Amino acid sequence: MSRYMSARFADLEAYVPGEQPQDMQYVKLNTNESPYPPAPAVLEAAGAAETARLNLYPDPEGRALRQKLAEMYGVEAENVFLANGSDELLSFAFMAFCDGERPVAFPAVSYGFYPVYAQLYQVPCTQIPLREGFVLDPRDFCGLGKNIVIANPNAPTGRAISVRDIEEILRSEPDHVVLIDEAYIDFGGESCVPLIKKYDNLLVCQTFSKFRSLAGGRLGYGLASKGLIDDLEKIRYSTNSYNIDRLTMAVGIATLESNEYYLENSKRIQEARAYTTEELSKLGFETIPSLANFIFTRCPNVDGGSLYRELKARGVLVRHWDRPEIGDWCRVTIGTREQMDVFLDKVREILKGAD
Ligand SMILES: *Cc1c(COP(=O)(O)O)cnc(C)c1O
């Protein structure tokens, strides 16, 4: 830190994203990207015609894309908020709704960005322990008198909770925002978006980065009551009113028009998830039941850190966290069936060496 930086950031520990090697030598199963490229229509949408208009600012209201999203979810455009990746939406939400009087609670094992935003905006945060097997008991999150943030399915465990559980939490916290991060909802989970009509304290965050093969495009969105969306807009217009660029806006619309293509990919990923889980279990691995495009798994004979390093040495990248509660585990993104076969072969090789 230089001597010019504000002292209030002296203790801030920035988020560390997963490795993004630029040589593409790896089977990349470490950051939950889709193994499938964007749909053909998306390539065209980002083509020369839209590039030729880059001298003009994009629509700051993102009307066309918000309208499309509203139609897809059966809500109004006023219930839709656009962000430069859902990380930006999370940042705006922490800024808008949390402070010393409105602290936040989230699971102790969850998305690593939540504690970073709490620290960045100097919001007291409570990390609620999960139960055995990383099970989230909704009763642990009811009536805390705090804003609540829950990823559903959770990251990095893949476990999902039911819409009924979410409704129980919403009802217990009418004076606080309940943010449900549905980054992975389209791999088999049940979305709570319909509840935004009933609960004005519910904010659902979604992203184009996983199910919609657009991690490099940086597009996320929120769905909520008009009141919460207006609050987020106030923050957005005070930060960066043109947060979605023209190419991404066009690409986002083409993506939604190609929904069948992405549903098909999701089906294949879910099949590869079941296959990988089954093969790992034959090798003695314990895997948390996942409704996401990744699995959280551990091997009785090889600790998580060693497995990560041994796989990396063999050209397969997975994610491991050096934290006591989850140090035994690795998170493995589900790629194509072919990628998962490479991963499984390398695992078998490593286990042979460990005997
Ligand atoms: C990937 C992820 C996000 C962020 O995705 P963006 O690429 O910023 O849209 C948000 N929440 C969770 C739980 C994630 O895993």
Same domain? For 307 and 192 the reply is no
Range of the domain at 350: 7-37+260-354
Q: Is pLDDT of 24 > 90?
A: no
- CATH number for the domain that contains residue 268: 3.90.1150.10
- CB 220 less than 6 A from any atom of ligand 1: yes
- In this structure, the answer to whether residues 82 and 144 fall within a common structural domain is yes
Q: What does DSSP say about strands 104-107 and 147-151: parallel, antiparallel, or unpaired?
A: parallel
Q: Would you place residue 22 in the very low, low, confident or very high pLDDT band (cuts 50, 70, 90)?
A: confident
* 269 plus 250 within the same structural domain: no
Give percent of the chain above pLDDT 70. Answer: 99
Q: Is 77 helix (H, G, I), strand (E, B) or coil?
A: helix
Task: Spell out the residues 6+ positions from residue 278 whose beta carbon is closer than 8 angstroms to its own.
Answer: none
The answer to whether position 275 is within a domain reads yes
Span 298-307, mean pLDDT? Answer: 94
Q: How many Å is the Cα radius of gyration of the chain?
A: 21
Neighbours of 334 (CB within 10 A): 29
Say yes or no: 293 and 222 in one domain: no
Do 68 and 215 fall within a single domain?
A: yes
Whether residue 354 is predicted with pLDDT greater than 80 in this model: the reply is no
With the most atoms of ligand 1 within 8 angstroms of its CB, the residue from 34, 89, 181 to mutate is: 181
Query: Closest residue (by CA) to atom 12 of ligand 1?
Result: 183
Is residue 355's pLDDT more than 70? Answer: no
Using the mean position of ligand 1's atoms as its centre, give its distance from the Cα of residue 349 in Å. Answer: 32
Choose one of 222, 238, 258: the last residue of a domain: 258
Which long-range contacts does 12-15 make (Cβ < 8 Å, 24+ apart)?
Answer: 12/116, 12/119, 12/120, 13/116, 13/119, 14/116, 15/112, 15/113, 15/116
Which residue has its alpha carbon closest to ligand 1 atom 1? 183
**235 ligand 1 Cβ < 6 A:** no
> How many domains does the chain divide into?
2
CB 219 within 8 A of CB 208: yes
Please give the distance, rounded to the nearest whole angstrom, from the Cα atom of residue 187 to the centre of ligand 1.
Answer: 14
Tens-digit pLDDT profile for residues 37-93: 999 999 999 999 999 999 999 999 999 999 999 999 999 999 999 999 999 999 999
Question: Confidence band (pLDDT; 50, 70, 90) for 19?
Answer: confident
- Please list, in sequence order, all residues whose beta carbon lies within 8 angstroms of the beta carbon of residue 194, skipping any fewer than 6 positions away: 74
Query: What number does the ligand 1 atom closest to the CA of 31 have?
Result: 1
332 beta partners: 295
* Ligand 1 site-directed mutation target among 149, 209, 210, most atoms within 8 Å of CB: 209
Give the Å distance between the CA of 149 and the centre of ligand 1. Answer: 13
Q: How far lies 76's CA from each of 64, 69, 71, in Å?
A: 12, 9, 7
**Does residue 277 share a domain with residue 215?**
no
What the block records as the tokens of 295 is 């699995």
At 317-327, the pLDDT tens digits run 999 999 999 99
Give every CB contact of residue 84 below 8 A, 6+ residues apart in sequence. Answer: 218, 219, 220, 240, 243, 244, 248
pLDDT band at residue 18 using 50, 70 and 90 as cut-offs: confident
Looking at the fold, whether 219 and 302 belong to one and the same domain comes out as: no
Regarding the beta carbon of 183 and ligand 1, being less than 6 Å apart is answered: yes
pLDDT tens-digit map of 122-140 = 999 999 999 999 999 999 9
Domain stop point among 258, 289, 309: 258
Residue 1 lies in a domain: no
Q: Is the pLDDT of residue 210 over 70?
A: yes
Average pLDDT, the chain: 96
CA distance 175 to 172: 9
Question: 149 is written with which tokens?
Answer: 């943030």
First-to-last CA distance in the chain?
A: 47
Same domain, 156 and 296: no
> Do 161 and 23 have their domain in common?
no
How far does the centroid of ligand 1 lie from the alpha carbon of residue 6, in Å? 28
My answer on whether 103 and 215 are in the same domain is yes
Q: Are 283 and 308 in contact (CB under 8 A)?
A: no
Structural domain ending residue among the three candidates 258, 289, 314: 258
Q: Is the CB of 87 under 6 A from ligand 1?
A: yes
CATH code of the domain containing 247? 3.40.640.10
